[in-house]
Chain A
Amino acid sequence: MIKTVLTVDDSRTMRDMLMLALVEAGYRVIQAVDGIDGLETLSAEGADVVITDINMPRMDGFGFIEGARADPRYRATPILVLTTESDAVKKQRARDAGATGWIVKPFDPVKLVDAVRRVAA
């Protein structure tokens, strides 16, 4: 069955790039533009995997992860954060909030798809 990936990022460029890589790998992609939109979309449509950025307006990635984890429906949904290589503090904070794994920006499409595959049931 085709798996759905929700990508949460305020940058249209990033959303498009994620979509390109994921669709080519056979995933169905839905998008959201910030944390609040992400939670709403997750609630409305559901997803098998979520990829989220950290810096976003209205609600950032940490808020999104915490919000998702607080909802029993999404406790078991894998969430990957997009993070820059050098940001150990942010990565840890994301993990503390409940992130399943991470993808380093700028991302290599192969590694991206690999990460999604590794966490998608």
Chain B
Amino acid sequence: MTDAVDPFEAIKVVFFQECDELLGDLETGLLAIQSGSADDETIHAVFRAVHSVKGGAGAFGLDDLVRFAHVFETLLDELRAGRRPCDEPTLNALLRAADVLADHVAAARGQGAPVEPARSAGLVAELEALTHGDVAPVAETVVETVAPLPVEADEFGFKPIAFDLSSLDAPAVAEPSGGWRIVLHPHAQMYAKANETGLLLRELARLGPVAVSLDTSALPDLAEMSPEDAYLSWTIELTGPVDEAAVREVFDFVEADCDLSVRPLDSVATPLPVAQTTPDLDIAALLARATADVPAQPEPAPVVAIPFPTPAPEPVPVAARVQATPTPAATPAPAQAPAAAPTPPAAVTIRVDLERVDRLINVVGELVIQQAMLAQRVTESGLARSSGISVGLEDLELLTREIQDSVMAIRAQPVKSVFQRMPRLVREVGEMTGKRVRLVTAGEDTEVDKTVVERLAEPITHMLRNAIDHGLESPDDRVAAGKPAEGTVKLVALHRSGRIVIEISDDGRGINRERVKGIAAAKGLIADDADLSDEEIDNLIFLPGFSTAETISDVSGRGVGMDVVKRSIQALGGRISIASNPGKGSTFTLSLPLTLAVLDGMVVAAAEQTLVAPLTAIVESLTPRVQDVHHVGGHDAVIRFRDEFVPLIDVALNMGFRDTPVPPSTGVAVVIETEAGFRAALLFDAIQGQRQVVIKSLETNYQQVEGVAAATILGDGRVALILDVDAIVATARRKTTRPELKLAS
């Protein structure tokens, strides 16, 4: 987005961005109405969404979109005015219309195929039928709404002025004669709407030379004069080859609020008397005379010809200003204080270029590193902790942390934008598979870093497809099983132990473990006689190579298996697992870091390596006592922790930093809990401290490494690896407890 782009094109981009939001509001509103959770405002908001899409589309000449939006908007207008009932069939049609509208927008944007005319026309006919209350849809006629309607002539009407008694013939139509005589007598309303005669005269003067005369005969005594009333009339002679339409156009806005007569110059019987009086007569003098203690004389009002300069860039100080001193007494317009908004004032927001935010976050990250390095040097220099510098540094650390938190919050976004697209997806997949589905969502306001939000859409989409296609039974099967014909799929987002968790669950048939095991064995992913726990069988579906063309149907596969879903989640530093209950349903759980930028970690040492363990995973740390450690069958060790025994994993050994194990009592055991709630103890040489670290991705310049979540740069400038404790535990379990389980890597 550079400034060199054509501004009109830039606005088009803005328009399509806005369309995304509007389409989202539209769907949310319709769903709220459908579920009964809407209020009085909702239908208006729905109307406005379609209205705004149409408005912008018109500006860019997107005709198909405009046409469809217009029919849609018309029905919505009827609904919001209460002239048509908003019943179930109507809502159904509205939801489908919202989908078609979205497709039209996508097509207009060049992001989708043009909408099939039959589909669009069909829905148009349906909407029109609902608008007009017909039961049977009218024959398919595409509504032409783009063609402008005939100009509303005479709507505001005008009456001829009494004193201009020239010929009563209708004036010649659009005949550029020698000119026009225009008589204008504004009503009070004209001024009330901030129209000014001076401006009108200025416009006329643009058309040709004008001579203006002012008729003040109706002007009463100043004492009787009401400032808001209009007493003045002007007669303007406009010479030149101007047609009537051009003259009338000048009075477009004011026609209804004045007496206007436009007659050809030559047809006027009585020529304008050219008076000779004081050329510098102005209204001020007129007023001065009126206010002087001279009783108003019933003499013929002086008619002056004021040569009107052509074309004057500055407006002439006009008589209209006579009434420019309003008194509080008269209020022509119905005084209506701005209605107190029933809705709370919207939070003030600004739009910021994401690039700027990213840069800011990077710089803040560097700030954190520098601050840590500085702190280290100060400590190494032997300065007392109570010294001014050390204390100052501590304050600096607090401030830096605050800045970091605030900056991270800028990028945090609710997952709503991703969740919003799902109802439509569920509708479509349900239709395609012949399943009846209801989508229940919760936690849309749960916030997560913007970069994470965007990459959630794809995996969630796949899992929903999967749940509906494979998880849910057909309505008949469900009823036979004693379940309601309509299946329920739940999409929930929540924060848990410093991460964001997304659960997708269905009340379908659950995983068919026998079948899954059979498929995995057939593909050589597991040994034929492998002995697997239920949980392990369920997770076989994530193995690469598990899903192929046979197992992936048209709907949920589209060539993508759960292993790809798992990898895309892992690329975000997240993990995915499944829990299934045969006959009852399955739940997929996605867990992701809240932010890809910082982490609270415990810094540890293992075999001369400095590592970082995420604090959120840590339960407790303890010094292993010899009597607490037991060896089970060879290398496996367990350690007593509170009332249970948990596996003890020698991390340096596990990661290949050391070839031989060390006695546990020489090190420190850190008890951690995995996402699945499994507990283990990680053995390190020593704990060096706790710190908030800036996360640096390994994937940027290298690739994902098993057991390593990311990297960070410590105070001494060296790179330290951030542990992926779940992966460490998983590899440990794989190696030691199930030697016969060969998993494809």
Query: Which residues of chain A have C-beta atoms less than 8 A from B198's C-beta?
Result: 121
- Interface membership of B326, Cβ < 8 A: yes
How many Å lie between the Cα of A112 and that of B193 in the bound state? 18
**Pairs A–B under 8 Å by Cβ, sample size 8:** A13-B59, A57-B44, A70-B335, A88-B152, A98-B333, A100-B194, A100-B253, A118-B253
- For B59, give its contact among A58, A66, A76, A107 (CB under 8 Å): A107
- Chain A's closest residue to B51 (CB) is A55
- Render A65-109 as a binary contact track against B, CB cut-off 8 A, 1 for contact: 011011010011111000011101000000101111110011100
Q: Could you tell me which residues of chain A, from 40 to 82, have a CB within 8 Å of some CB in chain B?
A: 55-59, 63-64, 66-67, 69-70, 72, 75-79
Query: Which residues of chain A have C-beta atoms less than 8 A from B309's C-beta?
Result: none
Do A119 and B199 touch across chains, with their CB atoms under 8 A apart?
yes
A82 CB to nearest B CB, Å: 8
B4 CB to nearest A CB, Å: 16
**Residues of A participating in the B interface, judged by any CB pair closer than 8 Å:** 10-14, 16-17, 20, 35-36, 39, 55-59, 63-64, 66-67, 69-70, 72, 75-79, 84-86, 88, 95, 97-102, 105-107, 118-121
Do B341 and A13 touch across chains, with their CB atoms under 8 A apart?
no
- Chain B's closest residue to A58 (CB) is B341
B152 CB to nearest A CB, Å: 6
- For A100, give its contact among B195, B315, B334 (CB under 8 Å): B195
Do B315 and A95 touch across chains, with their CB atoms under 8 A apart?
no
How many Å lie between the Cα of A23 and that of B621 in the bound state? 65
Query: Which residues of chain B have C-beta atoms less than 8 A from A99's C-beta?
Result: 193
Do B338 and A118 touch across chains, with their CB atoms under 8 A apart?
no
B61 CB to nearest A CB, Å: 8
Q: Using A63-B338, A67-B336 as known contacts, say yes or no to A95 and B256 having CB atoms under 8 A apart.
A: yes
- Chain A's closest residue to B346 (CB) is A58
**4 A-B pairs with the lowest CB-CB distances in the bound complex, closest first:** A101-B253, A106-B58, A67-B338, A13-B15
- Interface membership of B155, Cβ < 8 A: yes
Q: Using A106-B58, A119-B253 as known contacts, say yes or no to A59 and B194 having CB atoms under 8 A apart.
A: no
Chain B interface bracket (under 10, 10 to 19, 20 to 34, 35 or more): 35 or more
- Render B231-251 as a binary contact track against A, CB cut-off 8 A, 1 for contact: 000000000000000000010
B517 CB to nearest A CB, Å: 55
B63 CB to nearest A CB, Å: 11
A92 CB to nearest B CB, Å: 8
- Interface membership of B392, Cβ < 8 A: no
- For B324, give its contact among A76, A98, A107 (CB under 8 Å): A76
Do A75 and B51 touch across chains, with their CB atoms under 8 A apart?
no
Do A118 and B199 touch across chains, with their CB atoms under 8 A apart?
yes
Do B52 and A11 touch across chains, with their CB atoms under 8 A apart?
yes
- Interface membership of B229, Cβ < 8 A: no
Do B336 and A70 touch across chains, with their CB atoms under 8 A apart?
yes
Q: Using A55-B47, A69-B192, A78-B194 as known contacts, say yes or no to A14 and B253 having CB atoms under 8 A apart.
A: no
- Chain A's closest residue to B200 (CB) is A118
Q: Could you tell me which residues of chain B, from 309 to 340, have a CB within 8 Å of some CB in chain A?
A: 315, 324, 326, 328, 331, 333-339
How many Å lie between the Cα of A79 and that of B194 in the bound state? 8
Do A56 and B341 touch across chains, with their CB atoms under 8 A apart?
no
Q: Using A12-B14, A66-B336, A70-B337 as known contacts, say yes or no to A85 and B149 having CB atoms under 8 A apart.
A: yes
- Interface membership of B388, Cβ < 8 A: no
Do B11 and A16 touch across chains, with their CB atoms under 8 A apart?
yes
- For B11, give its contact among A13, A58, A106 (CB under 8 Å): A13
Q: Using A35-B338, A99-B193 as known contacts, say yes or no to A57 and B14 having CB atoms under 8 A apart.
A: no
- Chain A's closest residue to B25 (CB) is A57
Do A11 and B341 touch across chains, with their CB atoms under 8 A apart?
no
How many Å lie between the Cα of A84 and that of B68 in the bound state? 16
Q: Using A67-B338, A70-B335 as known contacts, say yes or no to A56 and B8 having CB atoms under 8 A apart.
A: no
Query: Which residues of chain A have C-beta atoms less than 8 A from B250's C-beta?
Result: 118
How many Å lie between the Cα of A77 and that of B194 in the bound state? 6
Query: Which residues of chain B have C-beta atoms less than 8 A from A59's C-beta?
Result: 338-339, 341
Do B55 and A106 touch across chains, with their CB atoms under 8 A apart?
yes
A75 CB to nearest B CB, Å: 6
Do A118 and B48 touch across chains, with their CB atoms under 8 A apart?
no
Query: Which residues of chain B have C-beta atoms less than 8 A from A105's C-beta?
Result: 55, 58-59
A117 CB to nearest B CB, Å: 9
Do A13 and B324 touch across chains, with their CB atoms under 8 A apart?
no
B164 CB to nearest A CB, Å: 25
- For A17, give its contact among B52, B59, B148, B252 (CB under 8 Å): B59
B674 CB to nearest A CB, Å: 45
- Interface membership of B128, Cβ < 8 A: no
Q: Using A35-B338, A59-B338, A63-B338 as known contacts, say yes or no to A11 and B56 having CB atoms under 8 A apart.
A: yes
- Interface membership of B533, Cβ < 8 A: no
B114 CB to nearest A CB, Å: 21
Do B194 and A63 touch across chains, with their CB atoms under 8 A apart?
no
Most buried by A among B338, B345, B346: B338
- Chain A's closest residue to B256 (CB) is A95
How many Å lie between the Cα of A58 and that of B315 in the bound state? 37
A8 CB to nearest B CB, Å: 13
- Interface membership of B196, Cβ < 8 A: yes
Do B18 and A119 touch across chains, with their CB atoms under 8 A apart?
no
A4 CB to nearest B CB, Å: 15
B190 CB to nearest A CB, Å: 9
Do B8 and A20 touch across chains, with their CB atoms under 8 A apart?
yes
Do B14 and A119 touch across chains, with their CB atoms under 8 A apart?
no
Query: Which residues of chain A have C-beta atoms less than 8 A from B333's C-beta?
Result: 66, 69-70, 75, 97-98
- Chain B's closest residue to A53 (CB) is B55
- Interface membership of B343, Cβ < 8 A: yes
Q: Could you tell me which residues of chain B, from 147 to 203, have a CB within 8 Å of some CB in chain A?
A: 148-149, 152, 155, 191-196, 198-199, 203
